[in-house]
C-alpha cells in the first residue's frame, strides 16, 4: 500500500474544505503517475483511519473524484483510478519547471513582438502634465447617470437587453451623424458610422481590412505609436515623411508615390501628434489630390477636434473628400473622459459593413447602455453644453500655462502656442536629460513623460507633450514650479 498518510497532507486551518483537499491531492497523485490507471484505492473506512478523518469526509472526497472523472466505482469491488487515465511516464527533473515558473512562462512558443512593447498611460494621481487628457472633473457625470438609468425604462426589454447592432446603437449613430455633419462639414447618415471602443479599435479594424503583408503605409516621421503598432501587426511596411511647422511634407509623399505603390497614409491633420501643428490648407488639397491620383486610402485620426480656441477650426479632410478616399476616426475619450470607451469610424457604407464584420470576431458589439446614454446626451444638447463649458475652461488654462512656461522656464524650453487641443509640444534645452527630468519630477510628485517615445529613429528631439487641460490653474502653477526645480 502507498504511504497515503505522508502523500496526503491536510491543512485544518485552510479555507478549503477538507474533502476538497483530499480529492485534489488524489487527483494530483493520478496526474503525476503515483496512482496508475485502474489502481484500487483504499476503502473509505481504511483511508479515514490512515488520515485521521471522519469516514464521511473520505466518502465526499471519493464522490468528488467520481464526479470529475478521475475515479470510477466498481460494484462490490471498491473505488479505482479511472481506466481511461493516460499512463504518465516520469520526465527527467531537468525539464520540469517549478509551479511558480509555469504561472509565468508557458510550455509552448509565443511570439513576442518588440513593437507592441509600449508603456500604458494611465491617469496619474496628484499633479500631472500628461499626454493631453481631459479634466474628468468637468465631465457631465450626473447627466450621464440620468440618461443611463433611463435605458432601463425605455423600449422593449427583449430588444435592448439582448444582442444589438454590431455597428452600434442606432440612436448614437444617428445623433453622431447629425453632430458630425453640423460641426465638421461631413455628409453622413447613420449607415456611414461604426461605433467602436475608442479610436484605437477603429485604427485596428481599418488596418485589418485594408492592409496585406508587404503593403506600404506612410506616416509622419513623428507620429502616434498606437497607430504604427497596428500597421506593423497587419504586416505592413511603414515609411515616413518629414513633418515641419505646417504638417507632413506632402511633396515628399508625392515622391514616394512615384517610386512605389502606397496603400495607406495616416495623418492627424487638425493637430499633428505629437507636435500639435496644423496641416496647412494647400497641403490638405494636395494630399487629397495625391490620394485620387495614386489610389491610396487616407486614415484621418481627428483626436481632439472639439477643442479649438481661436475661431472655427479648419474642417477635416473627410469634409472635402468626394471620392471616398478618407476613413475618418474620432472618439469621445479626449472630449469627455477616457472611461467613455466610445469611438467612431466614418467611411463609405461598403467600408463600414466590412469593418462591422471584422468587429464581430473580436467584440460582438459595444456597450448598448452606454451608447444609448451618450446618444441621449447628444439629443438633449447636454454634450454640446459640455463642449462649450470645457472649451472656455481649457482656453483659460492654456493662457495660464503659456504664461507660466514663458515666465518661469525662460531659455530652458521652446514651444508654440497651439490653436487647439489639450497639450503643448515643448522642446527642452539640449543639455537637459529628459529621462532624468521625468524621474526627478516623479519623486517630487509630478508626472510627465520623458518624450523618448516621440523620437524618430536616430533623432533626439528632446521634447514632450505637456498636457494642461486636466489640471486647474492652481495645479498648473504647482506643476511648473516643480518642473523649474528639477531642470535647473
96-115 residue pLDDT tens: 555 567 677 787 778 777 77
- Amino acid 32: pLDDT: 87
Q: With contact defined as beta carbons under 8 Å apart, do 315 and 185 qualify?
A: yes
Express as a percent the part of the chain with pLDDT over 70: 93
Evaluate if residue 318 carries a pLDDT over 60: yes
**What CA–CA distance (Å, rounded) separates 456 from 225?**
11
pLDDT at 91: 57
Q: What is the pLDDT of residue 95?
A: 53
pLDDT at res. 151: 77
CA distance 81 to 42: 11
Full-model pTM: 0.78
pLDDT at residue 27 tops 60? yes
Please write the tens of the pLDDT for every residue from 247-262. Answer: 999 999 999 999 999 9
Instruction: Tell me the per-residue pLDDT of 47-105, one tens digit each, with 9 for 90 and over.
Output: 999 999 999 999 999 999 999 889 999 988 899 999 887 766 655 555 555 556 767 77
Q: Is the Cβ–Cβ distance between 186 and 328 less than 8 Å?
A: yes
Say whether pLDDT at 362 is over 90: no
pLDDT of residue 109: 79
Any bridge partners for residue 248, and if so which? 243
How far apart are alpha carbons 242 and 219 in whole angstroms? 9
Going by C-alpha positions, the residue among 208, 183, 221 that lies closest to residue 302 is: 183
Separation of alpha carbons 200 and 139, rounded Å: 21
Mean pLDDT confidence for 341-365 = 92
Cβ distance 230 to 381 under 8 Å?
Answer: no
CB 420 within 8 A of CB 270: yes
CA distances from 408 to 400, 423, 451, 470 (A): 12, 18, 21, 20
- Confidence (pLDDT) at 146: 86
pLDDT of residue 124: 63
Class in CATH terms, 4-102: mainly alpha
User: Is pLDDT at 165 greater than 90 in this prediction?
Assistant: no
Residue 341 has a pLDDT of 85
The share of the chain scoring above pLDDT 90, in percent, equals 67
Check residues 1 and 211 and name the one with the higher pLDDT: 211
Whether residue 224 has pLDDT greater than 60: yes
Least confident range of 54-68, 135-149, 193-207: 135-149
Strand partners, 301: 329
Q: What mean pLDDT, rounded, does the chain reach?
A: 89
State how far Cα 101 lies from the chain centre: 28
User: For 127-131+387-487, CATH number?
Assistant: 3.90.1150.10
> How far apart, in whole angstroms, are the C-alpha atoms of residue 389 and residue 472?
14
pLDDT given for residue 100 in this prediction: 60
Query: Per CATH, the architecture of 141-384 is what?
Result: 3-Layer(aba) Sandwich (3.40)
Range 297-321 average pLDDT = 89
**Cell numbers at residue 119, please?**
508603456
The whole-number pLDDT of residue 222 equals 94
Interval 419-442 mean pLDDT: 94
Provide the grid cell at 472: 486647474
Q: Where are the domains of the chain?
A: 4-102, 127-131+387-487, 141-384
335 to each of 21, 123, 138, 195, 330, how far by Cα in Å? Answer: 53, 15, 10, 16, 10
Over residues 262-279, the mean pLDDT reads: 95
Looking at per-residue pLDDT, the higher value among 92 and 406 belongs to: 406
Instruction: Give the pLDDT score at 158.
Output: 63
Look at residue 156 in the predicted model and tell me its pLDDT.
67
- In this prediction, residue 6 has a pLDDT band, given cuts at 50, 70 and 90, of confident
Q: What is the mean pLDDT of residues 385-409?
A: 94
Amino acid at each position: 500500500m502507498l504511504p497515503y498518510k505522508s502523500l496526503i497532507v491536510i491543512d485544518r486551518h485552510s479555507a478549503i474544505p477538507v474533502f476538497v483537499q483530499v480529492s485534489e491531492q488524489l487527483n494530483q497523485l493520478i496526474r503525476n503517475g503515483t496512482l496508475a490507471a485502474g489502481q484500487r484505492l483504499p476503502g473509505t473506512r481504511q483511508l479515514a483511519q490512515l488520515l485521521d478523518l471522519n469516514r464521511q469526509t473520505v466518502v465526499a472526497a471519493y464522490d468528488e473524484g467520481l464526479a470529475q472523472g478521475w475515479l470510477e466505482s466498481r460494484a462490490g469491488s471498491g473505488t479505482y483510478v479511472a481506466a481511461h487515465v493516460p499512463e504518465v511516464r516520469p520526465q527527467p527533473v531537468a525539464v520540469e519547471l517549478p509551479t511558480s515558473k509555469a504561472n509565468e512562462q508557458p510550455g509552448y512558443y509565443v511570439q513576442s513582438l518588440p513593437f507592441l512593447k509600449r508603456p500604458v498611460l494611465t491617469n496619474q494621481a496628484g499633479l500631472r502634465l500628461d499626454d493631453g487628457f481631459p479634466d474628468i472633473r468637468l465631465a457631465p457625470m450626473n447627466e450621464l447617470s440620468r440618461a443611463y438609468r433611463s435605458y432601463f425604462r425605455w423600449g422593449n426589454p427583449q430588444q435592448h437587453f439582448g444582442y444589438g447592432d454590431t455597428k452600434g446603437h442606432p440612436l448614437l449613430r444617428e445623433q453622431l451623424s447629425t453632430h458630425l455633419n453640423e460641426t465638421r462639414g461631413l455628409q453622413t447618415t447613420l449607415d456611414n458610422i461604426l461605433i467602436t471602443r475608442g479610436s484605437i479599435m477603429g485604427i485596428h479594424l481599418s488596418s485589418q481590412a485594408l492592409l496585406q503583408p508587404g503593403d506600404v503605409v506612410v506616416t509622419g516621421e513623428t507620429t502616434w505609436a498606437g497607430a504604427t503598432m497596428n500597421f506593423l501587426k497587419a504586416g505592413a511596411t511603414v515609411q515616413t515623411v518629414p513633418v515641419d511647422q505646417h504638417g507632413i511634407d506632402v511633396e515628399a509623399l508625392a515622391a514616394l508615390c512615384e517610386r512605389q505603390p502606397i496603400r495607406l497614409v495616416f495623418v492627424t491633420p487638425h493637430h499633428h501628434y505629437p507636435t500639435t501643428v496644423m496641416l496647412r490648407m494647400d497641403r490638405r488639397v494636395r494630399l487629397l489630390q495625391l490620394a485620387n491620383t495614386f489610389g491610396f486610402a487616407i486614415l484621418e485620426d481627428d483626436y481632439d477636434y472639439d477643442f479649438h480656441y481661436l475661431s472655427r477650426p479648419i474642417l477635416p479632410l473627410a469634409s472635402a473628400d468626394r471620392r471616398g478616399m478618407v476613413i475618418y476616426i474620432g472618439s469621445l475619450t479626449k472630449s469627455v473622459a477616457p472611461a467613455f470607451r466610445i469611438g467612431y469610424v466614418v467611411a463609405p457604407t461598403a467600408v463600414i459593413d466590412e469593418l462591422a464584420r471584422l468587429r464581430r470576431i473580436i467584440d460582438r458589439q459595444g456597450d448598448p447602455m452606454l451608447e444609448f446614454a451618450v446618444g441621449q446626451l447628444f439629443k438633449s444638447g447636454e454634450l454640446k453644453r459640455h463642449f462649450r463649458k470645457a472649451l472656455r475652461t481649457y482656453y483659460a488654462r492654456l493662457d495660464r500655462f503659456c504664461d507660466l512656461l514663458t515666465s518661469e522656464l525662460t531659455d530652458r524650453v521652446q514651444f508654440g502656442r497651439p490653436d487647439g487641443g489639450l497639450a503643448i509640444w515643448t522642446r527642452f534645452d539640449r543639455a537637459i536629460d529628459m529621462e532624468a527630468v521625468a524621474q526627478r519630477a516623479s519623486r517630487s510628485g509630478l508626472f510627465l513623460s520623458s518624450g523618448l517615445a516621440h523620437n524618430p529613429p536616430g533623432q533626439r528631439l528632446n521634447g514632450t507633450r505637456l498636457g494642461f487641460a486636466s489640471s486647474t490653474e492652481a495645479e498648473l502653477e504647482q506643476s511648473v514650479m516643480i518642473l523649474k526645480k528639477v531642470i535647473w
